[in-house]
Amino acid sequence: MRVNMPGLLAAVLAMAACGTGSDAPRSITTVSWGGSYGRAVNEGANIPFAEQTGIRVEVEDYNGGLAQIRAQVDIGEIHWDVVDLEIADAVRGCDEGLLERIDITSLPPGADGTPAEEDFVDDGRTECGVGNLYWSTVYAYNADNIPGEKPATMADFFDLEKFPGRRGMRRVPKVNLEFALIADGVPLDQVYATMDTPEGLDRAFAKLETIKDEVIWWEAGAQPPQMLADGEVVMTTAYNGRIFNAQVLENQPLVIVWDGQLLDVGQVGIVAGTPRLEEALQYLAFATSAESMVRIARRISYSPMRKSGMPLVTTHVVAGVEMEPHMPASPANVARALRYDWAWWVDHADELNERFSAWLAR
């Protein structure tokens, strides 16, 4: 069933509040990125949701993409209900009919009572996805393994003469192409215009070619901090929250370079055709509330996408450190950020995935 009725979510939440419905045990399966982020979501959203509603939350991890969602929808056997998505996948999945449409006006108001449609930042709203956090891909290094001058710019990541040694990069074209152009001197506000030309893409691949022989490719978010801790690489691209947890909770001497960070939006979506639609809607409303976003942001350094939630993020619940200096959307860190152009990647992902795979194989 597709969700096209503005009042459905409100009705579902009202039913839950009144205790109506079956007394049979209910559960949903949520799918996320695992690791430190998965733990933050579990403590910040899943456990409180289960305690409040009595609906059990089963959790599975994945590495992104739409392949598994597409396979379930195609054969009509839906095992996943709510999925953490990169925004480009949320848009593509919506276009393909893989995700339910969500009426944002039916979501709960902000922590200060602001209606949901005004409380969410503009970046976080798509037809089938609800923004829950800002996250970024950065690069980081282990301070103990780089004597003397430290890396400070995106150009330094690509400078094997100044900073010799292995690099870590995710095995996808996205982010790598943007970082390559930034390192090659393209101004932030011209990166996607440059990528929009054959010459610009050639330039990005040429820059990647200069370090290709020194790259160790990673696929899961837990790999980069471990690669740095083990000395397997001198620097690596990484999700900022994974590095934060290694810094704060594991006392690792890791340093984030914010210059040229790719600021991205995380969204939550519901798999089309789930037989647990009511429960999934309840969970989505709870998990994307300002209060849940704040609980998550106090456990890992991802910025809330509700305006009313941003001022409520104070210190880390365990370490007690102030969170703002570690947030990708804080004023200091966002100053040299490139905002991810998901629409560009929706249009170009297939061709560039193919080109990137061919380039890797050479």
pLDDT tens-digit profile of 228-244? 999 999 999 999 999 99
The answer to the question of residue 333 being in a domain is no
Residues 247, 110 within the same domain = no
pLDDT tens-digit profile of 57-113? 999 999 889 999 999 999 999 999 999 998 889 999 999 999 999 999 989 999 999
The answer to the question of residue 173 being in a domain is yes
The answer to the question of residue 2 being in a domain is no
| AA letter at 289 | S
Helices and strands in the chain: count of H runs, count of E runs: 16, 10
| AA letter at 47 | I
How many domains are contained in the chain?
Answer: 2
Nearest CA-CA partner of 274 in 18, 129, 58, 78:
78
Residues 190, 310 within the same domain = no
**C-alpha span between 65 and 92 (Å, rounded):** 10
Residues 129, 142 within the same domain = no
pLDDT tier, 337 (very low <50, low <70, confident <90, very high otherwise): very high
Average pLDDT over residues 20-47: 85
| AA letter at 208 | L
Scan for tokens 């089309």, then name that residue.
272
The answer to the question of residue 198 being in a domain is yes
Residues 18, 70 within the same domain = yes
pLDDT tens-digit profile of 280-320? 999 999 999 999 999 999 999 999 999 999 999 999 999 99
Residues 227, 96 within the same domain = no
Q: How far from 256 is each of 141, 153, 154, 245, 253, CA to CA, in Å?
A: 7, 11, 11, 12, 10
Note the pLDDT of residue 35: 84
DSSP 108: P
Note the pLDDT of residue 20: 41
CATH number at residue 188: 3.40.190.10
The answer to the question of residue 3 being in a domain is no
Tokens of 288: 């994307």
pTM: 0.84
Residues 122, 269 within the same domain = yes
Residues 213, 269 within the same domain = no
**C-alpha span between 238 and 224 (Å, rounded):** 6
The answer to the question of residue 332 being in a domain is no
Q: Which domain holds residue 352?
A: 138-261+339-361
Between strands 235-239 and 130-142, the pairing is: antiparallel
Q: How far from 170 is each of 13, 80, 121, 321, 346, CA to CA, in Å?
A: 40, 25, 28, 29, 19
Residues 71, 90 within the same domain = yes
Burial of 265 (0-12, 13-18, 19+ CB in 10 A): buried
Residues 281, 343 within the same domain = no
The answer to the question of residue 331 being in a domain is no
- Furthest CA-CA distance within the chain: 67
pLDDT tier, 1 (very low <50, low <70, confident <90, very high otherwise): very low
Residues 113, 254 within the same domain = no
Residues 151, 248 within the same domain = yes
pLDDT tier, 156 (very low <50, low <70, confident <90, very high otherwise): very high
Angle made by CA atoms 121, 329, 112, in degrees to the nearest 5: 45
Scan for tokens 């925004």, then name that residue.
87
Note the pLDDT of residue 122: 83
**C-alpha span between 337 and 282 (Å, rounded):** 34
Average pLDDT over residues 269-284: 97
- The yes-or-no verdict on residue 5 having pLDDT over 50 is no
Are the C-beta atoms of residues 341 and 194 closer than 8 Å to each other? no
The answer to the question of residue 50 being in a domain is yes
Residues 315, 349 within the same domain = no
